[in-house]
Amino acid sequence: MQVTVTYKKPQVLQALRYHFITRREIRFMMILVNVFALISAGLFFYHKISPLAFLVSSFLWISLMVTFWWLLPATIYRKMATFKDRFKVTLEENHFFIEHPRGNKSWAWREFSEMIETPQFFHLYFDPRSFFLLPKDAFSNSDDLHEARMLLQEKIPKKKL
């Protein structure tokens, strides 16, 4: 099966957010900061801490959310030329191919460590930090999308969230 891949910025930004949220260390840090912010709000309400301490914890919470929701995805999108290119992807029984006017690359399915399916993409991971985004809207119809989903699920382990 062969599809032509082009990326849309809003969809890529959302996919990058999914990527960050699925990382164990980032999820842990966000939960920890949220618990800290709730505790500081409660302590402030009961006049156990000063307004400055509450302000600092609120600033920490806002900074973390802005960083992971807007700053990191936008930075990665700007740095990666791949998101601005158009190329062909071929899914075969034993390999995953990318063709571009500047060259091509293929991977055996065993080189992918895991897969995550989100509403608009298949995230194909090589390792915890490097991955390929395969947009679902690249497939011409729902039958092709279903066929690709079945192939990807068969060839790549699915990540447990």
pLDDT digits (tens, 9 = 90+) for 62-114: 998 888 889 999 999 999 988 988 999 999 999 999 998 888 999 999 999 99
pLDDT digits (tens, 9 = 90+) for 28-62: 988 888 888 889 889 999 999 999 888 888 888 89
> Where are the chain's structural domains?
2-8+85-155, 9-79
Please give the sequence-ordered ranges of beta strands (E in DSSP) within 34-151, or none if there are none: 86-91, 95-100, 103-108, 114-117, 121-125, 131-135
Q: Which two tokens stand for residue 45?
A: 């309400």
CATH number attached to the domain at 2-8+85-155:
2.30.29.30
Phi, psi of 39 (to 5 degrees): -65, -45
Please choose, from the candidates 57, 58, 75, the residue with its C-alpha nearest in 3D space to the C-alpha of residue 17.
75
Residue 68 DSSP one-character state = I
Identify the pLDDT of residue 71: 94
- Please list the residues that pair with 104 across neighbouring strands: 99
